[in-house]
Amino acid sequence: MTNFKVLCCAKGESPEKKVNKGPTFGCRHFQMILYFLLMTYTYCMRTVLSVAIVAMNDNSTSINSNVPTYNWDNQSVVLSAFFWGYVMLQIPAGQLGKKFGAKWMLVCCITVDSVACLSIPVIAEYFGATGVMVCRFFQGLSQGCISPLLHTLLGYWAPPCERSVIGTFSYAGSVFGNILSLPVTGFICSTWVGWPVAFYLFGALGLKWVILWILFGVDRPGCHKTITSYEKMYIESSLGHEEHKVHRTPWKAILTSPPFWAVTFAFMGANWGSSVLLTQTPTYLNKILKYDIKSNSLLSAAPYVMMMMCSLMFSPICDMLINREILSRGAARKIFNSIGTLCPAVSLTLVGFIPQDEAGIAVTLLILTGGLSAGGFCSFQVNHMDLSPNHSGVLMGLSNGSTSIFSIISPLIVQYIVTDQTNQSMWRTIFVTAACVYAATDIFYVVFGSGEVQSWNEAKEKDDKDCTKA
C-alpha cells in the first residue's frame, strides 16, 4: 500500500505512466459532478430567501398586483432561522455517514430541504413569518448534514493526487449556487409570476437532484457496479481502503490533535470573515459610500463569479505543486490558506479607510477579495481528508459545526458596535477586527497545520457493511 502511494503521489509526473487510473473520465469524475450539483442546488435553496424577502415585503417589486406581500418587522430573524438548525446535526451526521453510508442520508436531507423550500410560499400565506422560520429551520437542519456527508464521500472517492481538484470542484457548487440564485431570484421577483416561483424552481431542482442521486450516487468505489478494476484499484489503494473496515472514531486523539485544531481555527476565520465580507459590506457601501450594491443583482454576484474562477485556477496549481514535489502537501495547504485569508484581511482594512467618493475602488477590492478567498477551497476545506480519509466526515462536522456559530455571532457584534450605520469609524472597528481574526487564525494554521495522514486514522473496529445494502 505504501509503495503504491509513493508511486501515485510522490514521484511527480512519472506515476501518470506507471499507474493505470482507468478511463480519462471515470466514475470518480461523474460522482464529482453529482457533488457539484448537490452544492449548487442546496445553496440556491439557502440564498433564495435573502433576495426574495425584499419582494415578499414590497408590493411594488412585481408588476402583478396579485402576488402576495406582507409587512414583517422581523426579517433579520426570519433570515437567521436557517442557522438555528444548521449548527445542530453536523457532528452526528459525520458519525452516522461513516457508519451507515452517506447515500441514503443525503436522499433524506435533500428531500426535506427541497420540500421545505417548495412549501415556503404556501406557509407564508397561512402562517406568516413564524411559519417561514420553521421551514428555514428545517432547511438549516438538513443542510447542516451535507458538508460532513460530502466529506465522507470524498474520503472514499478523492485520491490524494487529485484531492485539491476533486474537492474544490465539488465545493465550488456552493459558489455557483450563489451566482445562479442571486440574479435569477431577483429577475423572477420582478416579473409577473412573482417571488413564489423562485422557491418552486429551486425546490424542484433539489428534488431532481435526489432522483439523479438515487440512480447514480454510490457510497464508495467498491460498491460501484460499472467501475473498472483499474480505477477502483487506483482510488482504493491510494487511500488505503482495500480492506473496507469501519473505523472506530478516536475522539480523544482527534480532540488533542494540533493539526485538527489548526483546520478548525481556519474554519473559524473563514466563517467570521465571510460573514462580514458578504453580509455586511453591502450595508457599508450603501450607508457610507452611498453605493447600493443590492440594487444590481448581477453586481452582487460578481464576487462569487471571481471566487469560482479563482477556485478552478488555484486547485490544479495546488495539486501540481504537490505531485511534482515542488512543495509538500502541508506547505501547499498553508500557502493557499494564507492567500485566502491574509489578502481578504488587507482588503477589508483598506475598505474601511476608503474615502466616500471612491466607491468604485471599494467594489473592485471586494470583488478581488472574493476571488482570492477561494484559496481556502484547496487548503483547509480539503485538509480533513489529508489528516484522516477514514474520519473526514466526522472532522468536517466538528470543525464546520463548531465554527458556524460565528456566522451568527458576527452580525450581532456588528449590530452592537455599529450603532450608527453612517459612522465610518464604527465600521472600521468591524473591518479591522475581521482582519485580525483572519490573520490570527492563519498564523495558527501555518504553525500547527499538517498535510500528513495522522496515526489515529487507522483505528479499526469491524468489517464494513455489505455493498448490496447500500
Asked if residues 265 and 446 have their Cβ atoms less than 8 Å apart, the reply is no
- Amino acid present at 22: G
CATH of the domain at 232: 1.20.1250.20
468 domain-assigned: no
User: How distant, in Å, are the alpha carbons of 1, 112, 201 from that of 184?
Assistant: 49, 23, 10
Q: Strand, helix or coil at 219? A: coil
Per DSSP, helices labelled H in 57-102 are 75-86, 90-100
116 domain-assigned: yes
Measured distance CA(404)–CA(89) in Å, rounded: 12
CA dihedral 344, 270, 424, 347 (to 10 degrees): 0
Decide which of 201, 218, 244 is a domain's last residue.
244
Nearest to 190 by CA among 34, 320, 325, 298: 298
Q: What is the per-residue pLDDT for 366?
A: 81
Same domain, 298 and 413: yes
Same domain, 387 and 258: yes
Measured distance CA(157)–CA(159) in Å, rounded: 6
At a CB cut-off of 8 Å and minimum separation 6, what does 233 contact?
Answer: none
Same domain, 386 and 357: yes
> Of all helices (H) and strands (E), which one includes residue 205?
helix 196-216
Cell numbers placing 162: 487529485
- Amino acid present at 359: A
pLDDT tens-digit map of 56-99:
887 776 677 788 888 887 777 788 788 888 888 888 888 888 88
Q: What is the DSSP string of 296-312?
A: -HHHHHHHHHHHHHHHH
Same domain, 179 and 289: no
53 domain-assigned: yes
35 domain-assigned: yes
pLDDT tens-digit map of 112-123:
999 999 999 999
Cell numbers placing 38: 448537490
pLDDT tens-digit map of 325-372:
999 999 999 999 999 999 889 988 888 888 877 878 888 888 888 888
Measured distance CA(272)–CA(284) in Å, rounded: 17
Measured distance CA(458)–CA(222) in Å, rounded: 19
Same domain, 89 and 150: yes
Measured distance CA(301)–CA(180) in Å, rounded: 8
Q: What is the per-residue pLDDT for 117?
A: 97
Cell numbers placing 204: 424542484
Q: How many CB atoms lie within 10 A of CB 412?
A: 10
Residue ranges making up the domain that contains 359: 247-454
Q: What is the per-residue pLDDT for 4?
A: 43
Cell numbers placing 426: 464604527
Domain count, the chain: 2
2 domain-assigned: no
Q: What angle do CA 297, 276, 397 make, to 5 degrees?
A: 100
At a CB cut-off of 8 Å and minimum separation 6, what does 119 contact?
Answer: 135, 203
Same domain, 116 and 256: no
Measured distance CA(214)–CA(235) in Å, rounded: 22
Same domain, 240 and 360: no
467 domain-assigned: no
Decide which of 226, 244, 262 is a domain's last residue.
244
Measured distance CA(153)–CA(364) in Å, rounded: 37
Cell numbers placing 286: 450603501
User: How distant, in Å, are the alpha carbons of 89, 222, 362, 411 from that of 397?
Assistant: 8, 24, 35, 23
Q: What is the per-residue pLDDT for 291?
A: 65
284 domain-assigned: yes
Nearest to 206 by CA among 107, 314, 128, 305: 107
19 domain-assigned: no
Q: Strand, helix or coil at 217? A: coil
Same domain, 163 and 67: yes
Same domain, 352 and 216: no
CA dihedral 440, 446, 448, 454 (to 10 degrees): 140
Residues of the chain with pLDDT under 50: 1-17, 462-464, 468-470
Same domain, 200 and 211: yes
Same domain, 222 and 356: no
Same domain, 190 and 298: no
Asked if residues 337 and 379 have their Cβ atoms less than 8 Å apart, the reply is yes
Decide which of 244, 275, 299 is a domain's last residue.
244
CA dihedral 188, 169, 405, 247 (to 10 degrees): 140
Q: What is the per-residue pLDDT for 132?
A: 94
